[in-house]
Amino acid sequence: MILTIIIVLLLFHASVEDIYQRTIGSLHVICLYILVALYSVMTETMSLQTTYVFLFGFIMFISIAVFSKGHFGIGDAMVIGALSWYIGTFSGFQHFLFAIAIVSIPWTVYWLIRYRKDNTLSGVFSGFKQVVPIGDVRVGDVLSSDNFMHGLTGVQIDRLRQEGHAALEIKKPFPFIPVIFIAFFITLLI
């Protein structure tokens, strides 16, 4: 029970980070895998089916991340893989996927309205890319050429300034970790 609460709190923190920085830190993913592994060992839920569910979820979402060319991040896929391991059954994983689908609908509508309202995109469905002056680039912004959604760090932004870049084309992806967090929480309640 305590590990489940810690996992939920970790997902909440990762969700907040994803909303503000549009990226999830590697430390969140590593801690999540460690906590899920501890949960599996402590609750003795490690089984062949758990392994199959993890592999299925992990491979499915890593494939989606690779083929989406940066519109779905590797960090999101890694989190879903870890949570599929926690869930452990195919029926539970189906509930989790259904919850992701249901939560995604209002979440996507909200972000489409927000992007349109803020006029941050010339066309909402234009690939979610925008040219931003180098002075306005924030930590966590993702270069449009980055297919794996690695957010820029402060050091990288400073280096790009020193190289003389006046502006960068960045992606404006939807933060998806909050959807995963809410869907996981719903799955726990079912």
Q: What is the mean pLDDT of residues 84-89?
A: 82
Q: Output the pTM of the full model.
A: 0.73
Whether 161 and 179 share a structural domain: no
**Better pLDDT: 12 or 133:** 12
pLDDT of residue 43: 76
Q: What is the pLDDT of residues 142-153, one digit of tens each?
A: 776 665 556 777
Total structural domains within the chain: 2
Whether 180 and 152 share a structural domain: no
Whether 42 and 90 share a structural domain: yes
Bridge partners of residue 133, in order along the sequence: 167
pLDDT of residue 138: 76
Asked if the model's pLDDT at residue 93 lies above 60, the reply is yes
Q: Is residue 145 part of a domain?
A: yes
Q: Which of 76-80, 103-107, 160-164 has the highest mean pLDDT?
A: 103-107
Residue with tokens 């491979």: 59
Whether 182 and 139 share a structural domain: no
Whether 10 and 59 share a structural domain: yes
Q: Is residue 124 part of a domain?
A: no
Residues 6+ apart with CB under 8 A from 153: 139
Per-residue 3-state assignment (H helix, E strand, C coil) for 107-163 = HHHHHHHHHHHHCCCCCCCCCCEEEEEHHHCCCCCEECCCCCCCCCCHHHHHHHHHC
Domain residues for the domain of 67 are: 2-115+174-189
Q: Is residue 97 part of a domain?
A: yes
What angle is formed at CA 39 by the lines to CA 13 and CA 56, rounded to 5 degrees?
Answer: 85
What angle is formed at CA 47 by the lines to CA 43 and CA 50, rounded to 5 degrees?
Answer: 90
**Better pLDDT: 179 or 130:** 179
Q: Is residue 133 part of a domain?
A: yes
Q: Is residue 30 part of a domain?
A: yes
Which among 157, 166, 159 has a CA at the least distance from the CA of 137?
A: 157
What DSSP character marks residue 70? T
Which strand (E) or helix (H) includes residue 167? strand 167-171
> Which percentage of the chain shows pLDDT scores above 70?
79
d(CA 144, CA 183): 28
